[in-house]
């Protein structure tokens, strides 16, 4: 995995901006600490790369340039292909000449020989830019599920792009400004974001499954893949067999690495499945899998059972690690470190987000990186297999709006009156919701339940899942750790989009289909354990710590946060008994307080101006 950036334009000589490119490249160092490279000898395009070496460490230097039939092509690439072997064979037959074992060269030759059609052959996570020297054309693309980021901004000089917003902001032509739309995103939708929007006024992001072409005619974007509705003809047994194959194949493909690799292990269903498939493959090779687990100091004392988290993870982690025979590593986080990491986590994200949900992941990834360079994680199963309560509770499922964001009025009440008057919060959120469900492909005459399940799956993939993928990518890459997400294999999403709800909810059990399909990989205690979300600290010391941080901000008249939100509402948040979910059960009162701490830090760190 890596970090990429670059600039293209036709109004001047891009080579004169080399110093700007170097600043942008340096801002990506944590994403790629092992090596760096620059392409800076073209008048209309310069690009840079930072590398985290995973495959072919000796020969994988970027940027890479190849020549074919009189045209030169140069690529900067961030990602991993999981079907490299098959693609390499196909491209060799078409005339490709490979000099490395890296998938970077496979992507480059794929584009050279097939152009954008090659994207539909790729199974992987990626974001890349390719410059055509003679054609004077920049091609940018992002993977189907949106695992790897790619931000851009149109400027007076042309187009600037990067893996990271922090890097983009090193270019003086990208203003540190937001506007009413950006403010609406921050207050009404964050930590989620409207697909394609980058919070800063001129910053955008390629959407998942989108490519762009930039040349003298400007920027043109195209969605190259969508989930399509098809009749599901497999019976239940066949469906379970197919799911088992797809999950096993996704995990096995993603174990390829020339550097140490391990897995996240929470003791829940999803990470346990991935760890079990990985461990069985490692045993065949005479190797022991490293597994990594997270807990919080004193959670055994303060944990309280809830509808969303009926049991603590600790017991199940131990059961699973013993079952696997893995080399088990545990990270135990305490309040002081958790609170201190809020600002670094904000910097890693480039925005205020989920408080300790982010900072704990950042610290966890830092710890994992001491042992391995690559890790597999269980994200995205719930979105695709329908594991969340809003899939399974019919009342919630059929209700309009984002099920995890039902607090629009509460959120908007924090805005200063003069700003709140400029925003129709309900319409802003509802229009974002409607724009997504209207894109859900359906079959004529299908049941109301299956029709709504398709809408819900698309909502989850485009919103909730993108937020979790943002978090995992930024926190891991800020720690120079590559994290892969097998459940995000597009083949799984394509298949499950058409599986009827009665199969997914087999035996009226959350992710019943996945559980049945993966029998034999887990002990029953884990296989039938009720869903448990990402663990949070229950220690009251954390609430006190973030409250102290926010009080310090409210006591400072120069705080930029107070130019946006009401001090009176912040005090009510700190002192009142009201506890409204800011972002589903992931963000309750402590995380909401931490969000405002991060928002103040974001405004200060980037000296953000509000342009109305």
Here the tokens at position 365 are: 């990834």
Scan for tokens 């209700």, then name that residue: 399
Q: Which residues, 6+ apart, have CB-to-CB distance to 588 below 8 Å?
A: 579, 581, 582
Beta pairing partners, 219: 214
Cβ proximity of 264 and 375 under 8 Å = yes
The CA–CA distances, whole Å, from 497 to 148, 230, 243, 316, 500 equal 22, 9, 12, 30, 8
Bridging pattern class, strands 210-215 and 203-205: unpaired
Cβ proximity of 186 and 178 under 8 Å = yes
Cβ proximity of 460 and 389 under 8 Å = no
Q: Mind spelling out the 3-state secondary structure of 253-306? A: HCCCCCCCEEEECCCCHHHHHHHHHHHHHHHHCCCCCEEEEEEECCHHHHCCCC
Rounded CA-CA distance 77/130 in Å is 8
Rounded CA-CA distance 208/470 in Å is 12
Cβ proximity of 350 and 463 under 8 Å = no
Rounded CA-CA distance 141/159 in Å is 14
**Is 380 among the residues known to form the active site?**
no
| SS3 assignment, position 583 | strand
Rounded CA-CA distance 35/435 in Å is 42
| Annotated catalytic residue within 2, 5, 102, 365 | 2
| SS3 assignment, position 520 | coil
Say how many C-beta atoms besides its own lie within 10 A of residue 186's C-beta.
Answer: 23
By annotation, the residues acting in catalysis are 2
């Amino acid at each position: 995995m890596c970090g990429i950036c670059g600039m293209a334009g036709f109004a001047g000589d891009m080579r004169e901006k080399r110093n700007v490119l170097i600043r942008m490249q340096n801002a990506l160092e944590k994403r790629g600490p092992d090596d760096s490279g620059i392409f800076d000898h073209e008048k209309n395009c310069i690009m840079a790369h930072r590398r985290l070496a995973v495959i072919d460490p000796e020969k994988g230097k970027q940027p890479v340039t190849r020549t074919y039939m009189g045209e030169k092509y140069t690529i900067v690439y961030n990602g991993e292909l999981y079907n490299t072997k098959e693609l390499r064979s196909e491209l060799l037959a078409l005339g490709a000449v490979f000099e490395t074992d890296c998938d970077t060269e496979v992507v480059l030759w794929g584009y050279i020989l097939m152009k954008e059609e090659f994207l539909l052959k790729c199974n992987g996570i990626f974001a890349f830019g390719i410059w055509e020297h003679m054609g004077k054309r920049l091609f940018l693309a992002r993977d189907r599920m949106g695992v790897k980021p790619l931000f851009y901004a149109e400027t007076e000089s042309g187009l600037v792009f990067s893996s990271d917003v922090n890097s983009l902001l090193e270019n003086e032509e990208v203003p540190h400004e937001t506007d009413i739309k950006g403010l609406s995103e921050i207050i009404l939708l964050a930590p989620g974001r409207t697909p394609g929007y980058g919070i800063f006024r001129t910053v955008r992001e390629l959407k998942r499954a989108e490519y762009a072409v930039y040349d003298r005619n400007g920027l043109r974007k195209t969605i190259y893949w969508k989930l399509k509705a098809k009749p599901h003809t497999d019976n239940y047994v066949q469906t379970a067999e197919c799911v088992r194959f797809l999950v096993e194949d996704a995990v096995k493909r993603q174990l390829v690495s020339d550097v140490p690799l391990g897995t996240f292990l929470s003791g829940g269903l999803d990470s346990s499945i991935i760890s079990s498939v990985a461990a069985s493959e490692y045993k065949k090779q005479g190797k022991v899998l490293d597994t990594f687990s997270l807990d919080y100091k004193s959670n055994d004392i303060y944990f309280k059972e809830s509808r969303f988290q009926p049991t603590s993870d600790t017991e199940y982690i131990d059961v699973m690690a013993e079952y696997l025979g893995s080399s088990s590593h545990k990270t135990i986080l305490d309040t002081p470190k958790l609170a201190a990491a809020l600002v670094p986590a904000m910097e890693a994200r480039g925005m205020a987000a989920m408080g300790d949900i982010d900072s704990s992941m950042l610290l966890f990834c830092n710890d994992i990186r001491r042992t391995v360079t690559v890790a597999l994680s269980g994200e995205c199963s719930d979105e695709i297999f329908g594991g969340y309560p809003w899939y399974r509770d019919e009342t919630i499922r059929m209700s309009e709006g984002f099920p995890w964001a039902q607090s629009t009025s509460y959120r908007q009440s924090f805005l200063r009156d003069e700003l709140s008057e400029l925003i129709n919060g309900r319409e802003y959120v509802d229009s974002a919701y409607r724009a997504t469900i209207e894109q859900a492909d359906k079959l004529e005459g299908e049941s109301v339940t299956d029709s709504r399940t398709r809408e819900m799956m698309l909502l989850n993939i485009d919103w909730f899942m993108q937020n979790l993928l943002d978090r995992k990518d930024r926190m891991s890459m800020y720690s120079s750790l590559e994290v892969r997400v097998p459940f995000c294999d597009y083949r799984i999403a394509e298949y499950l989009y058409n599986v009827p709800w009665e199969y997914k909810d087999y035996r009226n059990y959350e992710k019943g289909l996945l559980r049945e399909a993966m029998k034999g990989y887990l002990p029953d205690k884990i296989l039938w354990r009720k869903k448990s979300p990402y663990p949070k600290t229950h220690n009251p010391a954390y609430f006190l710590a973030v409250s102290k941080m926010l009080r310090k901000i409210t006591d400072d008249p120069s705080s930029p946060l107070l130019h946006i939100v009401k001090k009176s509402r912040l005090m009510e948040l700190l002192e009142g008994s009201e506890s409204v979910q800011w972002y589903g059960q992931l963000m309750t009162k402590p995380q909401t307080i931490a969000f405002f701490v991060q928002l103040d830090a974001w405004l200060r760190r980037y000296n953000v101006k509000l342009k109305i």
